[in-house]
Structure 1
Amino acid sequence: MQTKTRFALSAVAVLAMAAPAMAADVVYQEPPAPQPIIESAPVSSWAGPYAGLHLGYGFSGDVSDGTGGSIGTDGWLGGAFGGFQMQNGQFVYGIEGDVNYSGVDGTDGTFTARSRIDGSLRGRAGVAVTDDILLYGTAGIAAERLRITEDATGNRDTNTMIGYTVGGGADVKLTEQVFARGEYRYTDYGSQDFTLPGVGTADIDSSNHRVTMGIGIKF
């Protein structure tokens, strides 16, 4: 019995002495360091839908009065615009519409021409000269509601004029979503027949120039 006890104690002692050596032979593997998280910078683009507001001035308007004379018009205007663009490299293209309320009017002493509502639907094409600056041209159809009034009697006739508009401008990003705009357009609204007292049926044509400044948001 004592022999078995001594054998067991000897075995425990041997194991106790061997344990540190076995532990020293274990290779400690450090866990791999976490990979750094690299966030990609957002890609600047003009593509997508957008909308905004603008204010401007119409000038050098020309409305024939049906008697061989001409009515010069000018005045302030304001409205909203919206559209959708696509981008291929630096080339940006799309479609845009706008609607405006204006104070563009004028008189030749006999007749007064007054336009209050106008709008357009246009194509746009341009070049992103930098990530933040877009230069563009635009052209399309335009319409206005024109009223001609005889000053002496107050008799009037109103028609919807439909023609074309052409111009260009620049959009400049203030943030990735917000941009400022400056634009010039010339618009020829074509001609329509108006019934005027003392003149009868007269073929009236209308055109003007305008500059606008606006601010828009990309969605």
Structure 2
Amino acid sequence: MRLVITTALVALASSAAYAADAVYSYDAAPAAPAIQAQHDWTGGYVGLNAGYTGGKAKGSFEGESAYVTGSGFIGGAQGGYNFQSGSFVYGVETDIQATNAKAEVKDPDDKGGVKHKWLGTTRARVGFTPTDKVLTYVTGGVAYGNIKSIGDDVRFNKTKVGWTAGAGVEYAVDNNWSVKTEYLYTDLGKTKVDGVDIKFPTHTVRAGVNYKF
């Protein structure tokens, strides 16, 4: 009789322990994945850029016109500020560039032409973010720079003010760094020298990197 009772008590204890294990032994639920914050374009930034610039220089005198194309390297620094509202980004940017772009007549008996030594712009930017890290934008504003003669027949070296407009795409690598590519058309207007109207508008394609602080 005692053996039967003892066996029953052991079986009951084992069942209770198993039930306790069933209640309290379980795998921990997997942690919810962290939600990554969207990139915010708001803030000031500085950066560097480099690229290619070129165009067609035009000289006009008494109804007659002559054209010569030219190109060169361009590179410099930029800085600006963005403000983001929803998917739209508004900002202002200024830059200063060194360049060796020139349009020159190749005839050794009639050497001449024009060149830029430096260019700068101050522009508004209006952009849209199709994704939080990609900013597409249009831009436009004031341009200024140097235009200088090549050759001895016509001599000038002037600083001119004009306008510029273009578009670009910028990609945020992380919270601080971004890379961009941009196109700008720049026109500093006419330079009148000895009755000759001279223009050298340029098309610029450049890539750059920005640091947002």
Q: TM-score, normalised by structure 1?
A: 0.74
Deviations 1:47-86 (A, max 9, x none): 0101100001012x12223442123120111000110110
SS at match of 2:39: coil
After TM superposition, the structure 1 = structure 2 runs for residues 44-63 of structure 1, keeping only pairs within 5 Å, are: 44-59=39-54, 61-63=55-57
Task: Select the residue among 200, 203, 211 that pairs with 2:197.
Answer: 203
- Once the two structures are TM-superposed, the CA of residue 179 in structure 1 deviates from its matched residue by 0.3
After TM superposition, the structure 1 = structure 2 runs for residues 31-42 of structure 1, keeping only pairs within 5 Å, are: 41-42=36-37
Structure 2: gaps (5+ residues): 1-33
**Residue 87 of structure 2 corresponds to residue 90 of structure 1:** yes
Are residues 155 and 193 of structure 1, via their aligned partners in 2, closer, same or farther at CA, if it must alter by over 3 Å?
closer
Structure 1: gaps (5+ residues): 1-38, 195-199
Counterparts of 2:161 and 2:125, CA distance in 1: 19
SS at match of 1:156: coil
Counterparts of 2:179 and 2:185, CA distance in 1: 21
SS at match of 1:65: strand
Letter in 2 for 1:79: G
Are residues 191 and 155 of structure 1, via their aligned partners in 2, closer, same or farther at CA, if it must alter by over 3 Å?
closer
Query: Aligned residue for 1:119?
Result: 120
8 Å contact 2:127–2:136 — kept in the other structure? yes
After TM superposition, the structure 1 = structure 2 runs for residues 20-169 of structure 1, keeping only pairs within 5 Å, are: 41-59=36-54, 61-67=55-61, 68-108=65-105, 109=107, 110-149=111-150, 151=151, 153=152, 156-169=155-168
SS at match of 1:129: strand
Letter in 2 for 1:137: V
CA RMSD for the aligned pairs?
2.1
8 Å contact 1:193–1:201 — kept in the other structure? yes
Number of equivalences? 175
Q: Which runs of 4+ in 1 moved over 4 A?
A: 39-43
Q: TM-score, normalised by structure 2?
A: 0.76
- Once the two structures are TM-superposed, the CA of residue 106 in structure 1 deviates from its matched residue by 1.9
Letter in 1 for 2:113: T
Q: Identity over aligned residues, as a percent?
A: 30
- Once the two structures are TM-superposed, the CA of residue 112 in structure 1 deviates from its matched residue by 2.1
SS at match of 1:45: coil
